[in-house]
A and B are shown apart, each in its own frame.
Chain A
Amino acid sequence: MPHATTSDAFLLGLESLMRRSGQGAHLSATVLELDGPPDREAVTRATEAMGWRHPLLHAHLRRSPLTFIAAWTAGPAAPVPLHFHVGEALAALVSRLINGNSIDIFRPGPNLEVHILEVDHRHFLILLWPHSLFDGIGIDKLISELDSTDDTPREDWGETNRASGNPSELWKTAHPMIEEMRTFPASNIRSLHRPSRHPGTACFEVIDFDLDTSAAIHAKMAGSVGELLSTPYFGAASARAVAAVLAGRDEPSASILLSLPIQRVNDPAKRPLFYNHMTAWSLLLEKSSLTDLTQATKSLFRSYGSFRKRKLHTAMDALTKLNERCPSRFYLLPIKHYLKGEICSLFHSHIGEFASGTDALFGHRILNAYHIPTVSTPPGVGIFFSEKNKRLSCTLSWREGALDPAELTTLRQQLLTDLGAGLPVVS
């Protein structure tokens, strides 16, 4: 079976951090609301076929005894677990799933679960998956073939090139990222992590904007930074929301380090189904640039441009490759050293159109869809956006202990004020 990608080493670092500190596994849920109940037999056939089609769905990660590089070990092919639920509240079910231990990437067993929920005449299809095996793009691809009954085994794991280069060359390439990290202490970077509190369960809130509110949010963005800079705009809004909470903690001078996943494969059609194929870009927003959303958006765009021009993404990939032969806990050591225990201020992504090209599943239209990723502490919080059918969704994810209820209100209010949104539907 193939080795994990270099990005997966980053994810293994997070997984290691979470397991060592009692934060469970790094699981995510994807929720799709359908306009009717999917046929039970059709879903059963599809999940059986999917299990046969993709052997990786029953593989587990192991370190090679020779190279110490992580690789997936095949398990026996089997149907993807399928569960039906009736009457349970959506949020309660998702919370139970992402905080459970039914998927463990280090043990033989399934790496994907499908849950069908019917509640209050609404119909949801929920996927539970480990972040070490999929990124958001991979899940998009998985959804596009979810109702297929093709059971021909396939090997869609993409990047398997293990020509790592020699360590001295990798170190030279990685060195600019180390130099970048050395500048971080001067910026007083903070997250919402509270070292004095024991990390609790993974918590979340989905802010589900209706069509009119979504249109109003986009109109406000177009009026301030143009129609096209949604990545830095929503990133800046997320950064300002975290900064607002920090200001309430007597940390008014804190700067924000945004961890933004950027796909390494430019052509969407070439992006593989399995594994993570992104580089974590660490983009700094100094406190002085966070005064208003327009200014913060421009600063984030400049930070992105600077990161790219200095080829820090290449340096980051080389640094990850150097670390993939080390125990997972080593991966985060450099940045935790320079950030005095922090990793970044928040996790963030805006994946754009969710499952573009897939409008229906099992004969029912997809009304809405979004991801609910768990986050580690540090940083304690993640703010994630996606869109489906021109409706914007925002998932606030945090770790119990990182945010108290009043701070969650501050975070949400700052975000909604910046976006120009009215009262949202919260689930």
Chain B
Amino acid sequence: METKILEIIQTEILDSPETLTSETDLFEAGLDSMAIMQLLLHIEDHFDVVLEPADLSKENFQTAPKIVALIESKR
């Protein structure tokens, strides 16, 4: 799941030339409000999880492993 999330962020959302890793701070890599909206739609489509407002914190989206943990907690 982590690989898929990183792939989505790198190729479909940020179009970043830099390789994103588990340690990458996604906000420093360019994840802004517009990118978060795209990511939420991808999470719904790929993992069939709808996140609640309370889940939408910088802490939960800072790195790919944290996003994975959030999705797992909602399944």
Q: Which residues of A contact B (CB under 8 A)?
A: 222, 224-232, 262-263, 265-268, 270, 294, 301, 304-305, 308-309, 350, 352
Contact = CB atoms under 8 A, between A and B. Distances in A.
Interface of B: 13-17, 30, 32-38, 40-41, 44, 53-58, 61
Contacts of B57: 222, 226-228
Given A266-B35, A301-B40, 4 more contacts: A224-B53, A228-B58, A229-B53, A268-B30
B58 A308 contact: no
Contacts of B38: 308
Nearest to B59: A227
Contacts of A309: 41
Contacts of B44: 305
Nearest to A300: B37
B14 A352 contact: no
Contacts of A308: 38, 41
Given A225-B56, A229-B56, A308-B41, A270 B33 contact: no
B46 to A, nearest CB: 13
A362 B23 CA distance: 37
Nearest to A266: B15
Most chain B CB inside 10 Å of its own CB: which residue of A224, A227, A231, A352? A227
B32 A229 contact: no
B13 A266 contact: yes
A169 to B, nearest CB: 24
Contact of A228 (B16, B41, B61): B61
A227 to B, nearest CB: 5
Given A232-B37, A304-B37, A352-B33, A227 B15 contact: no
A305 B13 CA distance: 14
Given A226-B54, A226-B55, A308-B41, A231 B61 contact: no
Contacts of B36: 228-229
A231 B53 contact: no
30 contacts: A224-B53, A225-B53, A225-B56, A226-B53, A226-B55, A226-B56, A226-B57, A227-B58, A228-B33, A228-B56, A228-B57, A228-B61, A229-B36, A229-B37, A230-B33, A231-B33, A262-B34, A265-B15, A266-B15, A266-B35, A268-B30, A270-B15, A301-B40, A304-B37, A305-B37, A308-B38, A308-B41, A309-B41, A350-B33, A352-B33
A267 B20 CA distance: 13
A130 B63 CA distance: 39
A352 B58 contact: no
B37 A267 contact: no
A357 to B, nearest CB: 12
A231 B40 CA distance: 13
A262 B30 CA distance: 15
A227 B56 contact: yes
B75 to A, nearest CB: 19
Given A231-B34, A232-B37, A267 B16 contact: yes
- 7 interchain residue pairs of minimum CB distance: A226-B56, A266-B15, A231-B33, A226-B53, A230-B33, A228-B56, A267-B15
A231 B38 CA distance: 12
Contacts of A262: 34
A296 to B, nearest CB: 13
